[in-house]
Amino acid sequence: MILLILTYIAVIVFLYFNIRYGYKIASAPVHLRWELYPVPHEKGRAQYGGSILEEVDWWTKPREKDKIAELKVMIPEILFLKAIWEHNRPLWLGSFAFHWGLYILIGNMFLLILSTILGFFGFSINAEQGLIASIIFYLIKWLPIIGSVIGIIGGIRLFMQRIVDTDLRLYSSASHYFNIILITLIYITALLWAVTDKNFVNNSISFYSALFTFGNISSLPLVAYIHIYTTLFFMIYLPFTHMTHFFSKYFTYHKVKWEDEPNLPKSKIAQKVSEYLNYPVTWAAPHIGSDGRKNWIAIASTFPGKENQNEN
């Protein structure tokens, strides 16, 4: 019962704080645009680095966005870490293996949820039940092993690289090392559970079934409890770390790099900017000329240096 309660708490904390953080980012003030081209969704222009700005009176013309072109950029980045491959290739192999270990374990988690739901309809997952049940059974059996081995290799390489690489070590905090150790521990315990428990598949499905039905959890090996508690701690810990990049990266691309909506009169952007211009400016820098009472409109329409000369 304690394990069930802790699992529910971990899931709630994970969802609540990640959603809260995501909402905070989504509702943040309008960013300072990069204005870098090409933008992938520029239909018919991104291929040669162009943009709608080539058109005369471009703001009066309809805009077409190519979502397929965006996916062609996003999918290689998510699945293959394309940016790391292009800009820091020595770091790529460890990062690729480290991330793919998680992808595989997460995929296995969804198979376990699917197996649990199918079980409610009388569809049992075992090697003798039929082709589909047999495929799911062996996937659940082998994916944790494959994913954990890949993840362990990636974790060891990333950890050692942050120690050996002088440049990378300068930018590595204690949390970076702790995060790698924590996730690698998840891989190690998952691997040990999968290879030492003869009833690994059934025990895994029964654990998920207990979560859905608020039932009793069958007796599990010690390493299984270590793995589950470690994973629960990770779920609670993650929303308070930079590992939230797994979803915040969406905003980096779509709301910073690729955001190119025109700031037209009476548009939502214009309304927001109008609101922001009335905010008081509290910056202490002398070139701003702020006294804590002036708003952005007053600051932007004056020359602090010139005012100081006139006062003298």
Provide the residue-wise pLDDT of the chain in tens; the chain has 312 residues. 889 999 999 999 999 999 999 999 998 888 877 777 788 888 888 888 888 888 898 888 888 888 899 999 999 999 999 999 999 999 999 999 999 999 999 999 999 999 999 998 888 898 877 899 999 999 999 999 999 999 999 999 999 999 999 989 998 999 999 999 999 999 999 999 999 999 999 999 999 999 999 888 878 999 999 999 999 999 999 999 999 999 999 998 888 888 888 888 888 888 988 898 888 888 777 777 777 788 888 888 877 655 555 554
Whether residue 290 lies inside any domain: the answer is: yes
Considering the domain architecture, whether residues 210 and 288 belong to the same structural domain is answered as no
Number of domains in the chain: 2
Domain boundaries, position 305: 278-311
Q: Which residues contact 109 (CB under 8 A, 6 or more apart)?
A: none
Considering the domain architecture, whether residues 206 and 294 belong to the same structural domain is answered as no
Whether residue 138 lies inside any domain: the answer is: yes
Domain final residue pick, 220, 235, 265? 220
In one letter, which amino acid is 79? Answer: L
Whether residue 201 lies inside any domain: the answer is: yes
Whether residue 71 lies inside any domain: the answer is: no
Considering the domain architecture, whether residues 166 and 285 belong to the same structural domain is answered as no
